[in-house]
Amino acid sequence: MDETNQSISEVFCPELLANGQCKYDIGDPDVDNIFKEYYSKLLEDDTLAESYRHLKDYYNYSKGIPQNILAISCPKLLANGQCAYDIGDKGPAGGVVFYVTDDGEHGFEMAPENQFTYTPWVIDKSKLWGCDGVMVPGTGDLGVGKGRSHTQAILDNCEAPEGAILLAQMAHDYTLNGYSDWFIPSLGELLLMRTNLYVDRDYDFESRLLVSSSEDRFYHAENMKSSLAGEGSADDFIDPIEPFRGVWRVKFYFKDRSDIRKITRAASKEWGLSMRVIREF
């Protein structure tokens, strides 16, 4: 096994350039043919799946494919040659998988640590959600699949005061193992993190509350449930008395499932917001 791994690294990437691409000289081995030869051998033995992953990484480097599509973790291989994950697995970028579809080929992973953790009872306005008291277009929906567009909407519409930074900018700037496509989860995505990891698997989150990218525009719990279910426009449920007053957070300190209002809490956009970013794979 050691000899195989050594030959793979030597053959497929003789010299790594500063831009992350491999450099080859005339006379270097034919990468395509060597890859096919190793691939056919590795598929004969399931115990070599991890070696196959490394081999595929080198092959992708040699073909000029960006590093951020390479999986650093591949628990199992599907028949189509793609990696598959279960909830709780280390994800493609090294995060923690909390939701999967398509037999584990696709889903969401969260970063393994917070990008910001606020100190209780300390008003720290250096890390802000942004646009306090103002509606941010496109951030009112609560459902799964909205976090990425919410984060971009915040970046497009909000500015941080001098000496502060937006949480959305921190999410945008975050990189883990070469992956830089992270975003703040929507309320629906944050609730999946809570249910699938904290409630069902006793995952130890470092914060009692985590912020979402979904604005708090709701006056009645039933309207909130309707929006989470994708029924109607978020604008149909705007609080007529005090709209856009904050953002939704999710509680990670008790395991009640019964009432959406018991496990969520509205918060100011200006302070007290711990954040953990996610990405889709």
Each residue's pLDDT tens digit, 218-252: 534 444 555 555 555 444 444 444 445 588 999 99
- Count other Cβ atoms within 10 Å, centred on residue 6: 10
* Vertex 121 angle, CA 117 and 124, to 5°: 55
Lowest-confidence segment of 20-34, 158-172, 195-209 by average pLDDT = 20-34
Q: Is the dihedral of CA 213, 219, 222, 226 positive or negative?
A: negative
How remote is the C-alpha of 219 from its chain's centroid?
29
Whether residue 3 has pLDDT greater than 60? no
Strand partners, 249: 211, 265
Tokens 């697995």, residue located: 89
The whole-number average pLDDT for the span 127-132 is 90
How remote is the C-alpha of 271 from its chain's centroid?
23
Q: 3-state DSSP call for residue 207? A: coil
Higher-pLDDT residue of 81 and 151 is: 151
Question: Can you tell me the distance from the alpha carbon of 57 to that of 76, in angstroms, rounded to the nearest whole number?
Answer: 16
Q: What is the pTM of this model?
A: 0.69
